[in-house]
Amino acid sequence: MKKLLRNTIAISMIATAGLSFSACGNGDTVSTVIIQESIRVETITPEISSIIVMGEYIGTVEPNQQVSVLPRIPGEVLSVYFNVGDRVQAGDILFTIDPTEIQNNITALEAQLAVQDATVRTAQTGVNLVDGSTMQSQLLQASGGINQAEAAIRQAEQNIEQSIIGVEQAQLGYDMAAQAYNDTAVLFEAGVVARVAYEQAEAGYANALAALERAQSGYALAQIALSQAHTALQQAIEGQRILAEDAPAENRRRAQDALAQAQAARHTILVNIDVAMDRLEDAIVTAPISGIIEARDVDEFSMASPQSSAFTIAAQDVMTVAFRVPRNSFEHLAIGDEITLVDNNIEQSGIITEISATVDAGGLIAVRANIPNPPASLLGGTTVRIFAEAQRAQSVLTVPLSAVHYDRGVPYVYINENGTARRIQVEVGIFDANVIQIISGISNTDHIINTWSARLADGVTIEVAGA
């Protein structure tokens, strides 16, 4: 019985120890038993989960809306109330333009309106009197017009006769002066007469030519005046005929037309006054949107122009960040996805609003995202860090990153196989800071050793904690 027990103990020790031999001094061989302890480990089972890998990019902040403020009227700038970097609210006065010229125009228009009001009243009176003594007065005026036109014709005929005489005399003077000039020129060339005589003859010729041209012009004007006088006579005669034949109805129509014209002229003045008042309001230039002043191009006493931007305002309620991503990251991004912007260690969320459909020369794709309610410190042109999804694996087999080991670049894991560590080569996919995707090699029922030990190797005995 004791011998059987000793044999049982020996077998048990051999199962858990290494056996070595050494020689004693008397030549006898003595066995030495080295006991190997099992490795205590923790195990986990793979999980089905999703992995999202965030990529880091560099972006540039831009205002989502940028407005150039142009004055509607030109003029000298009187006052400027904001500088670059100042925050403004919609409706704040940015600068003012000298309104003196506009105010003077309004004063003149108001004076014209007063005169036109009197004209309207007169025209209205004419309409009221058209069937009374006004008719006779108009007939007398028409007859007087005929007399005046006839007198103008007689005067024009006399002027023509006088201008003909003037032309003849000027022509005679011109001929004589031309002959004298030509003769003197020949003598001057021959050295017979002095230069003074030649210059006098030349001046006389020029004066005679100018006198002839004036006489000819006077004759032409006299002819025009005669033609105009004949036309006036015909118009006066026709006017008298119309008054005699269609006087009541025609006079009423004309009186009403005159009233309508006076009222239309008054309306035009009122419109011009309204326009001038609008221009007076335009002399006060306000901010169209709330935001930050990015540029100012006017100063006091400088000239503002509707063709030149005076201020540039960037809206701050929403900012835009532009960045570029590689093609492999582009596949995992979509409009509406969330990104994270980091500026001075301050994080801000954003939403992707635009993804380019083309690749630039560097193989990158442009992406834009809106940053709602950005902090005041986030200004246009700022360079920031952008974190956006770069890779994604949905519902895949995963294990902790620490459970995967590598041998010359080949990944493997240890599993618990009935108390023994078993090394299994695996194929891995993407990973984040905590877990890694397992494509093949193990299943979700395997117990993966998640404890590191220098003694851990294929085939060693393990003891699972908590088992």
Same domain, 354 and 429: yes
SS (H, E, C) 46-66: CEEEEEEEEEEEEEEEEECCE
In terms of residue numbers, what domain contains 26? 2-36
The number of helices, as runs of H, and strands, as runs of E, in the chain is 5, 25
Indicate the range of 26-30, 78-82, 165-169, 207-211 predicted with least confidence. Answer: 26-30
115 plus 207 within the same structural domain: yes
Q: Containing H/E element for 41? A: strand 39-41
Provide the token pair at 257.
Answer: 């037309």
CATH number at residue 94: 2.40.50.100
- Dihedral of CA atoms 298, 300, 303, 309 in degrees, nearest 10, equals 20
**Mean pLDDT for the stretch of residues 149-177:** 88
- Report which of 228, 250, 65 is spatially closest to residue 159, judged by C-alpha positions: 228
**CA torsion, ordered 33, 36, 37, 38, to nearest 10 deg:** -140
DSSP-derived letter for residue 192 is S
pLDDT at 223: 87
CA distance 85 to 77: 21
Using alpha carbons, select from 160, 154, 138 the residue that is nearest to residue 236.
138
- Inform me whether the pLDDT recorded for 449 exceeds 90: yes
pLDDT band at 433 (very low <50, low <70, confident <90, very high): confident
Q: Are residues 262 and 225 in the same domain?
A: yes
Give residue 285's pLDDT.
96
The answer to whether residue 17 scores a pLDDT higher than 80 is: no
- Looking at the structure, tell me whether residues 370 and 264 fall in a common domain: no
- What is residue 362's DSSP assignment? T
pLDDT at 133: 55
If asked whether residues 259 and 393 sit together in one domain, one would say no
What's the pLDDT score for residue 248? Answer: 66
Q: What is the mean pLDDT of residues 96-102?
A: 93
**Residue closest to 216 by CA, chosen among 160, 157, 153, 175:** 160
| Residues 301 and 425 placed together within one structural domain of the fold | no
What CA–CA distance (Å, rounded) separates 280 from 101? Answer: 9
Q: How far apart are CA 231 and CA 4, in angstroms?
A: 159
218 has a pLDDT exceeding 70: yes
What is the three-class DSSP state of 420?
strand
* Residue 42 located in a structural domain: no
Mean pLDDT of 25-42: 61
Whether residues 20 and 71 share a domain: the answer is no
Please give the share of the chain, as a percent, with pLDDT higher than 70.
87
Asked if residue 217 is part of any domain, the answer here is: yes
pLDDT level of residue 246 (50, 70, 90 thresholds): low
464 pLDDT higher than 50:
yes
222 with 353, same domain: the answer is: no
Last residue of a domain, one of 282, 304, 335: 282
343, containing H or E segment: strand 338-343
The verdict on residue 41 lying in a domain is no
Global pTM reads 0.42
Cα–Cα distance measured from residue 312 to residue 65, given in angstroms and rounded to the nearest whole number? 11
- Bin 236: left if φ > 0, else alpha if -120 < ψ < 50, else beta: alpha
The answer on pLDDT for 4 being more than 50 is no
| pLDDT tens, position by position, 113-134 | 988 898 998 888 887 776 555 5
Task: Assess whether pLDDT exceeds 60 at residue 31.
Answer: no
Q: Give pLDDT, residue 20.
A: 40
71, 305 Cβ separation under 8 angstroms: yes
Query: Residue 412: inside a domain, yes or no?
Result: yes
Q: What is the pLDDT of residues 353-380, one digit of tens each?
A: 999 988 888 889 999 998 887 776 777 7
**What confidence score (pLDDT) does residue 79 get?**
95
Mean pLDDT of 271-276: 93
Alpha carbons 312 and 146: distance in angstroms, whole number: 69
Give domain status of residue 246, yes or no. yes
CATH number for the domain spanning 240: value is: 1.10.287.620
Residue 138 scores a pLDDT above 70? no
Separation in Å, CA 185 to CA 170, 207, 282, 445: 22, 17, 71, 131
pLDDT at position 12 over 60: no
Phi first, then psi: what are they for 333, rounded to 5°?
Answer: -105, 150
| β pairing state of 427-431 and 435-440 | antiparallel
For the chain, give the mean pLDDT. Answer: 84
The answer to whether residue 167 is domain-embedded is yes
Do 184 and 131 lie in one domain? The reply is yes
* β-pairing verdict for 346-355 and 462-464: unpaired
Same-domain pairing of 213 and 223: yes
Residue-wise pLDDT tens digits, 43-97: 999 999 999 888 889 999 887 778 899 999 999 999 999 999 898 999 999 999 9
Rg (CA), the chain: 55
Report which secondary-structure segment, H or E, holds 79.
strand 75-80
Q: What is the pLDDT of residues 319-347, one digit of tens each?
A: 889 999 988 777 778 888 888 999 888 88
Distance of CA 188 to the CA centre of its chain: 77
Which whole number is the average pLDDT over 141-162? 83
Residue 333 token pair:
């991004």
**Among 398, 395, 394, 401, residue whose Cα is nearest residue 446:** 398
Domains in the chain: how many in total? 4
Contact yes or no for 84/298 (Cβ under 8 A): no
d(CA 415, CA 424): 7
For residue 134, what pLDDT is reported? 56
Q: Which pLDDT value is given to residue 139?
A: 63
Whichever domain contains 399, its CATH number is 2.40.30.170
* 87 in Cβ contact with 316 (< 8 Å): yes
Looking at the structure, tell me whether residues 70 and 116 fall in a common domain.
Answer: no
Q: What is the pLDDT of residues 311-324, one digit of tens each?
A: 999 887 778 899 99
402/335 same-domain check: yes
pLDDT at 253: 81
Residue 81 lies in a domain: yes
The whole-number pLDDT of residue 24 equals 42
Residue 343 falls inside a structural domain: yes
CB atoms closer than 10 angstroms to residue 184: 20
